[in-house]
């Protein structure tokens, strides 16, 4: 977000522009899909144009085809297929710390806060089902997600959230396990600095392989049109028509519906979002515990301390081992 202390822009109204043509090459893009640079036969008309080719675009395309397999859908991507945030993602399938319960309850009310957290938890089953249904080889593994706490106040807040959940929504609280003994923390390869951890069902996945495998299937089975290395320069609505014109660096497409699935780049085309949305830097690292001879089935989310920048902002680093 444009107000993030880790953002690549100063806080305020910014135009992120278009994705740069010469990005860094992360490990996750080291095995390109066979359609990574696909440019399907061009068509000037479509039912739906989806801008972006990450997990949001893939999920939407999958849902649309499930209801209307005959839809004419075009994916427009400024660079190679799934080369943005999704393709650079470390692949953690886990919910945010239970400590956000208080903020969500205060901001949205108890029932809506519960719905949001249950929705987050549902992603694990949904992704697992998608991988199995489509027989996708994407390094999907079920494991335990661990929020590892290094600060008494931050851990105390999370523990109070769990206590509150146990009273009001025990079925949600049952998804979490609190570890505070040194023995249990050591068994989970938490560092000596870790004073407590909260475990929950989680998974790891190679997002790029998941998304590109779905797109490959849609191209083969549904005739999905994929236009990579094609930047959208503007979208023009026509007052007297039910279609919009999507102008790109390779030509125009007239579509009944246009979906923005471009993550932090969205505000370049939707200018009114510029005060709120812009790209930020993030990083993920892979670590192997010293002396470990077996693969550790944990996905770590390290929480160091609360900050004054937001209600429950923390410094976080994530890793899978």
- Name the nearest CA neighbour of 51 among 244, 193, 204: 244
For residues 271-290, average pLDDT: 72
Q: Across all residues in the chain, what is the average pLDDT?
A: 87
Surface-to-core class of residue 3, CB atoms within 10 Å of its CB (0-12 exposed, 13-18 middle, 19+ buried):
middle
Q: What is the reported pTM?
A: 0.86
Domain-wise residue ranges, the chain? 34-88+207-261, 92-204+295-314
- Name the nearest CA neighbour of 201 among 129, 147, 132: 147
Surface-to-core class of residue 258, CB atoms within 10 Å of its CB (0-12 exposed, 13-18 middle, 19+ buried):
buried
Q: Does domain 34-88+207-261 have CATH number 3.50.50.60?
A: yes
Note the pLDDT of residue 315.
Answer: 35
pLDDT tens for each residue of 169-187: 899 899 999 999 999 999 9
Which 3 state secondary structure label does DSSP give 206?
coil
Residue 321 pLDDT grade (very low, low, confident, very high; cuts 50, 70, 90): very low
* pLDDT of residue 239 exceeding 50: yes
Note the pLDDT of residue 249.
Answer: 98
Residue with tokens 């202390």: 5
pLDDT tens for each residue of 48-69: 999 999 999 999 999 999 999 9
* pLDDT of residue 79 exceeding 60: yes
Residue with tokens 């880790």: 6
* pLDDT of residue 307 exceeding 50: no
């Amino acid at each position: 977000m444009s107000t993030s202390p880790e953002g690549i822009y100063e806080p305020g109204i910014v135009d992120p522009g278009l994705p740069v043509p010469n990005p860094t090459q992360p490990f996750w893009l080291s095995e390109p899909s066979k359609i990574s640079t696909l440019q399907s036969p061009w068509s000037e008309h479509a039912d739906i144009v989806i801008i972006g080719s990450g997990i949001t675009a893939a999920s939407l395309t999958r849902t649309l085809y499930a209801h209307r397999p005959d839809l004419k859908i075009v994916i427009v991507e400024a660079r190679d297929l799934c080369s943005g945030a999704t393709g650079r993602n470390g692949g953690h399938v886990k919910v945010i710390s239970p400590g956000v319960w208080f903020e969500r309850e205060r901001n949205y009310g108890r029932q809506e806060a519960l719905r949001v957290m249950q929705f987050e938890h549902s992603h694990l089953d949904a992704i697992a089902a998608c991988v199995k249904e489509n027989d996708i080889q994407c390094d999907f593994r079920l494991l335990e997600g661990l929020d590892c706490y290094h600060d008494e106040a931050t851990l105390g807040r999370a523990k109070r959230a769990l206590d509150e959940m146990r009273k009001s929504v025990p079925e949600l609280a049952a998804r979490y396990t609190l570890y505070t003994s040194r023995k249990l923390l050591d068994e989970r390869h938490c560092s000596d600095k870790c004073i407590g951890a909260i475990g929950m069902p989680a998974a790891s996945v190679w997002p790029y392989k998941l998304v590109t495998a779905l797109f490959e299937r849609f191209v083969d089975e549904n005739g999905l049109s994929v236009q990579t290395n094609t930047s959208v320069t503007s979208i023009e609505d026509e007052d007297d028509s039910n279609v919009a014109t999507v102008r790109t660096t390779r030509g125009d497409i007239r579509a009944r519906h246009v979906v923005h699935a471009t993550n932090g780049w969205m505000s370049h085309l939707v200018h009114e979002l510029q005060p709120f949305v812009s790209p930020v830097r993030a990083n993920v690292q892979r670590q192997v515990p010293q002396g470990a001879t077996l693969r550790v089935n944990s996905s770590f989310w390290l929480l160091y301390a609360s900050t004054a920048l937001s209600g429950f902002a923390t410094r976080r680093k994530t890793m899978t081992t």
